[in-house]
Amino acid sequence: MAKRKKQTKQTTETKQTTQKKRKQAKKQAASPGFTPVVEKNDIIDLTIDDLNHEGMGVGKYQGYTLFVKHALPGESIKAKVLKTKKRFGYAKLLERYESSTARVTPLCPIFDQCGGCQLQHLQYEEQLRQKQRQVQSQLQRMAHLDLDKVSVHPTLGMEDPWRYRNKAQVPIGEHEGGLIGGFYRQGTHDIIDMNECLIQHEQNDSLVQQVKDTAEKLGITAYNENTHQGLLRHVVTKYGFKTDELMVVLITNGDQLPHQDELINALKAKLPQLKSIVQNVNTTRTNVIFGDVTRVLWGETYIYDYIGDIKFAISARSFYQVNPQQTEVLYAKALEYADLQGNETVIDAYCGIGTISLFLAQQAKRVLGVEVVPEAISDAKRNARLNHLENTDFAVGEAEKVIPWWQAQGVHADVIVVDPPRKGCDEALLQTITDMKPQKVVYVSCNPATLARDLKVLEEGGFETKEVQPVDMFPHTSHVECVSQIVLKDD
């Protein structure tokens, strides 16, 4: 009995010592001048507890955080340290001692090389749960929201989460004298050649392949970003899911396109759905895909598609949601949160080509959209005319400047809708919203971190977050879209 008590005491002391070391490691990790407990090339054992916003597994080694590509929560692994920073580092998965029960074999043969998808190795149902958890975590940690009061609903996913993208942007290169096209290896500009992408619609794959094959036969060269020589930089394809219409944009490092007629005729013969062939000229040394000059080589300036009952004209430069099926789900939820009765004035603060604005206009008295890109406003006005929606007005400018001007003209918004880029809303726009005090704000977000940051500002400005609905716009990637309903607090 005495021996057992001694062993129990030693076990307790061991646990206390381990816990003390972990606390010391965490304290050291937060202190200035801290040297990580691991170094580059160290081989360590690690338990994965979480996924980060990039879809990497998260584990802690003596309190120090390491991110591991293709590792999943619940897995015990052997890893090689690749890089260390003050508060976190990166490691490579070498071996799995214990695998997650949610792990599956990726369908894509180049999943390990391509950076386009991050979660094909995770069961789709678990992807949806992880995305909900990611949103919940950000709202708790950054916005300090009480999730007992703010509902973050289960992520709305797809019944068939494949072949959902209506747009491809493919860099073109050369390998052993032939043209290649695909996606960049993650973290590099090395092109991984591919014949099909399982999240692209098949029509996009066929069109890209035809451009590669035909351009190679005609001797059209690929652009080399190191030497700034060669012609064909990117192939951009767009497909209308409901109209079966195709557009291709050839982005070139020069005005002249050799064998232009032969290329056009070959593509037309192979792809009867093709309605538009466009050239965009980009002669600058840049990672930006499009240049300033765009010309139609053959066919129409626009192709068309529908989201719900709304018809959209899509040009070479138009921004249009890449997953039309889930866009309809997303916008339906935005309409539900706006709760329009037919007599409201609504402002769409990042209106783009009018996608959300036109949905709102079906149920609102008046919709005003503002967008900083002039071409997008031209498209928004065209789409309003196309759908005979006369209760819309669109203006070019910065929302934080245009909205106060509207207010000075006597406009008061009952509902403000925002759908900002990943960086979130401009601080001045958030101040404008709090000054105008609409009854409701509907926030559509593609980045839970900036959503949480902005919700905190709105909460401090007199608003209350009621509920948040994650929507899986990009299955098999780490990205998640959200719609949030925010209401003005009673005085």
Pairing of strands 303-307, 310-314: antiparallel
Number of residues in the chain: 491
Average pLDDT, the chain: 92
pLDDT digits (tens, 9 = 90+) for 245-279: 999 999 999 999 999 999 999 999 999 999 999 99
| Fold matches, 2-98 and 167-307 | yes
Structure tokens given for 36: 């990580």
Tokens of 296: 């139609």
Give the span between the Cα atoms of 394 and 397, in whole angstroms: 10
Return the CATH architecture of domain 2-98.
Beta Barrel (2.40)
CATH pick for 167-307 out of 1.20.120.1200, 2.40.50.1070, 3.30.70.1530, 3.30.300.30: 2.40.50.1070
Backbone angles phi, psi at 298, to 5 degrees: -160, 145
Residue 410's pLDDT is what? 93
**For residue 13, is pLDDT > 80?**
no
Q: Which residues are catalytic?
A: 446
Please give the average per-residue pLDDT across 431-444, as a whole number: 96
What does CATH list as the number for 128-159+323-488? 3.40.50.150
For 463-476, the pLDDT digits (tens) are 999 999 999 999 99
Contacts 24+ apart (CB under 8 A), 50-53: 51/130, 51/134, 51/478, 53/134, 53/448, 53/449, 53/478
Which residue has tokens 């120090």? Answer: 64
pLDDT of residue 5: 43
Cα atoms in the Cβ-side hemisphere of radius 13 Å centred on 102: 17
- For residue 186, the model assigns a pLDDT of 78
CA distance 319 to 244: 18
* pLDDT tens column, 353-387: 999 999 999 999 999 999 999 999 999 999 999 99
pLDDT digits (tens, 9 = 90+) for 273-331: 999 999 999 999 999 999 999 999 999 999 999 999 999 999 999 889 999 999 999 99
Given a contact cutoff of 8 angstroms between Cβ atoms, the answer to whether 66 and 42 are in contact is: no
For the chain, percent of residues with pLDDT exceeding 90: 88
Q: Residue ranges of the domains in the chain?
A: 2-98, 128-159+323-488, 167-307
